[in-house]
Chains A and B, each alone.
Chain A
Amino acid sequence: MPNPLVGVPEALAEAELGESAAHLMVDDSIYPLEAVYGASFTFLDRCFVLIDRPEPGRFRVTLSTKKPGADEATLRALVGEFANELLAQAWRRKIVEENRATLEAVTMQAIGGAMGPPTLDELEDFDFSEEPFEDPLGIAMSWEEKYGKKTPPKGDADASAASADAAAEDAAEDATADQDSDAKGGAE
């Protein structure tokens, strides 16, 4: 027969003195499951802990003392300790989330420093996660690409020079025409 616990809302916790057990209901919109796990872990030396989900949005935690014959005061103290630990676990988790980037950077630097400089092959495969830069005006593009001029064949310096020069003359005319008419944005 469940009994209420003094000072604890009935909807959140109750005791079963014959079973030496207490039940807590945890709102999952306030406490994440990882916090429930963390808080439960700290009771393993004293209690058998059962977590279930009797209804959507709520976890139920049952704490059964390993020593039989727990009185109401003992069960009330267990529920209070669990509630506090649950809050501590949730708060710690939030701090970890906020500092994750810093922690990872420091850790990576420490590991990277110990590993020494990367080889060329390693650098080739390295995933640089630098955020890409927006270039709405299309500035970061080679002149040949922008004006649709052919790239000279590699290794053919003379041909390259001649064709690049011819292309340059053409593009200069294009650019000048752009400026005059403003009909097509050379910069787009």
Chain B
Amino acid sequence: MKALIKVGYGCNDHCSFCHTLHVRHVDGSAAEVHAKIRRAKELGHTMVVLSGGEPTIRPELFEWAAHVAELGMDFGLVTNGRLLAYEDAVERLLASRLRYVYLSLHGGTAKVHDLMVRSRAFEETYGALANLTGKGLDLSVNCVVTKHNAAHLRGLVDAVLPYPDALVKLSMVEPKGGGDALFRNLMPRVSDIAEKVADAIRYGDAKVAEAGAAGPRFVHGALPLCLMPGLEDRFDDLKTHRFRTMIEVGEPDFFPVDDLNKVQPEASCAGCALRGPCPGLYRGYHEVFGAEELPTDRRGAGPRSNSFHWVFERRWEAPEDPAHCPLRDGALGVTPWDRGRDLFVRHGGKLGLYRAETRDFSDLELAEVKHARGQAYVDATRGKAAPNDFARDLVKLERAAVCAGCPHEHRCAGLFEPRFEDVFTRDDARVRALLGAVEGDVLDLGCGEGPYADVLGPRAEAGALRYVGVDPDAAAIERLRARWPWASLEVAGGEDLSPLGERRFDHVFVLRSWNHLRDPEATLRQVRERLRPGGWLTVVDNVAFGLARTPAQAERAERGPAVFEHHRNDGAAEAAAALEAAGFAIVERMDVGPTTSNQWLLRASVGPTAPGRQA
């Protein structure tokens, strides 16, 4: 758990793409950095990483490192590495628990690297690698790729091959500072860089395999994953390096690391299963070049997760006073905590901190699940691998009353408290009421394990309805055939209902299977054709949710057999838009929110309604 402290922006290199070009004259005082080191410890970090500018040009470097070690934390550097060409500098820092080095090397030769950094620096930076390797460090070599070195990436790979413990990262240049000021001169097209980076990674992999070596490992940064087919798992960013917070010079407290300088354009990225880890495009890049290099539709690219967990980390005493906020009114503060990833739960005089490290969801998605949709629960299961009865196994969490009206309410990670009410059974009552009143020909699309058999079965046996269930899972259909003599069951996916012949229906139900559909638009076309005039379509499904778990629960869940089955995590709004686009008229809508379960509902009609057939 790393904290990144920017100590100042002065540097002994002058990279053309320097992020901090406009503030190179700004340096933090030694005392400010010492105070931030103490604050990092107070917040529970286990490592402090100094960055800049260039932290190694500061005369206080060794004092800062010693201070970090004295507080029982590990020490790290984001650096151009030039000072680390001195062996004794490395030795002294190792004695102060230097464990992590993120070193910038932008070319495999002096000619390329020195032109990138506009200094005679290669021998020192490259020499530092020899001093750092084999020391048990977490050692990364970062190469920023611009127009100028894009053709020389294999040369960089060749240069780092002797260092098997290095992680070599090839990163798209960011349009910030120098990268923005010299945009036209520096900025390559992202698709071109993706191609060259992929080539360099594959070249490096082959060289490593050829040598039978353990490394280096090659990864990429700031490149959309759809442009790196086959190398998606090689993405690398601050979070993969376990940076949790950072602080700039002059800032009063730490802030969580975030991806807000990047954008995932909806036109390309909507429905993509890889939105969680994907960096998308830099905003500045997107403003100039748009998203024309990205595939236009990533829907159906693969299944994705519909849940995640926050794992318990720490606990404090917390007064029961409902007007007291332990974040705002205490030493924890408001700003260091990630709005989506950090979850504070107060209960019984205790305050617990849970943390979500998942990359299945982006930061924005996590914050939406937690706050806008309010889908945070405590996993109260005992003695089984995962919850399978939400009403019994999950306890809903809601924002504490003290959050209402707080000036930090919409920025803060929030304070949550358990609400001991079975919201699942309560919200499902409407679905059961609809099913209990339905008459005529009924199609259940994606009937799966048949969660509503106790409602539908008696009505079918009484002749009130004629039930047809379809599901693409042949085994599930076989099991239902044995249990449901009153049902007609077919193996079929929602996109192709041809096994049903010419049958038409008065009601179609899509119960908790909307987000399993590969192609909802195609399914809606099929449904529309099979609904009689005045017929009804009812869609019920769940949005994504998060569970607060103990480390043991989280480990059990991650080792469990569950696989991704969802192609999206639509809520009522997204599904309603699709239904309306397909010609349905929405007549009833239940949205998910902070006081509801994660289940939403839509009822829609096609053509003139027939009151006699309404449920």
Give Cα A160 to B10, complex, Å.
13
- Of A118, A134, A164, the most chain B CB neighbours within 10 A belong to A164
List the 10 closest pairs (A to B, CB-CB), nearest first. Answer: A123-B31, A172-B118, A142-B10, A143-B14, A140-B57, A186-B120, A157-B22, A168-B14, A128-B63, A124-B31
Please tell me which stretch of A22-30, A62-70, A146-154 contacts chain B, meaning at least 4 of its Cβ atoms lie within 8 angstroms of it.
Answer: A146-154
27 A-B pairs with CB atoms under 8 Å apart are A123-B31, A123-B34, A124-B30, A126-B31, A130-B63, A132-B59, A133-B61, A137-B86, A139-B82, A140-B12, A140-B56, A141-B12, A142-B57, A144-B25, A146-B12, A154-B25, A154-B26, A157-B22, A160-B21, A160-B22, A160-B24, A161-B21, A161-B22, A168-B16, A171-B118, A186-B120, A187-B120
**Judging by beta carbons under 8 Å apart, are A130 and B66 in contact?**
yes
CB within 8 Å for A139 and B118 given contacts A124-B29, A133-B89, A165-B181: no
User: Is residue A117 contacting chain B, with contact meaning CB distance below 8 A?
Assistant: yes
User: Is residue A179 contacting chain B, with contact meaning CB distance below 8 A?
Assistant: yes
Checking A123, A160, A161 against B30 with a beta-carbon cut-off of 8 angstroms, the contacting residue is A123
Give Cα A133 to B178, complex, Å.
31
Give Cα A137 to B123, complex, Å.
12
CB within 8 Å for A152 and B25 given contacts A120-B35, A139-B57, A143-B119: yes
- Which residues of chain A come closer than 8 Å to B25, judged between CB atoms? 144, 151-152, 154, 160
- Which residues of chain B come closer than 8 Å to A172, judged between CB atoms? 14, 115, 118
User: Is residue B62 contacting chain A, with contact meaning CB distance below 8 A?
Assistant: yes
Q: Count A interface residues, CB 8 Å.
A: 39
Interface residues in B109-142 by Cβ distance below 8 A to A read: 110, 114-115, 118-120, 124
Checking B13, B32, B60 against A128 with a beta-carbon cut-off of 8 angstroms, the contacting residue is B60
- Which residues of chain B come closer than 8 Å to A128, judged between CB atoms? 30, 60, 63
Using a CB–CB cutoff of 8 Å, the interface residues on chain A facing chain B are 117-118, 120, 123-124, 126, 128, 130, 132-135, 137, 139-144, 146, 151-152, 154, 157-158, 160-161, 164-165, 167-168, 171-172, 175-176, 178-179, 186-187
- Which residues of chain B come closer than 8 Å to A144, judged between CB atoms? 10, 24-25
Residue of B whose beta carbon sits closest to that of A169: B118
**Judging by beta carbons under 8 Å apart, are B21 and A165 in contact?**
yes
Closest Cβ of chain A to B530, distance in Å, is 64
- A133-B59, A139-B124, A160-B21 given; name 5 further pairs at CB < 8 Å: A139-B56, A139-B82, A140-B58, A141-B12, A172-B14
Give Cα A134 to B59, complex, Å.
10
**Judging by beta carbons under 8 Å apart, are A164 and B24 in contact?**
yes
Give Cα A75 to B132, complex, Å.
69
User: Is residue B11 contacting chain A, with contact meaning CB distance below 8 A?
Assistant: yes
CB within 8 Å for A142 and B62 given contacts A120-B31, A165-B182, A175-B114: no
User: Is residue B419 contacting chain A, with contact meaning CB distance below 8 A?
Assistant: no
- Which residues of chain A come closer than 8 Å to B62, judged between CB atoms? 130, 133
Residue of B whose beta carbon sits closest to that of A122: B31
- Of B12, B13, B56, B124, the most chain A CB neighbours within 10 A belong to B12
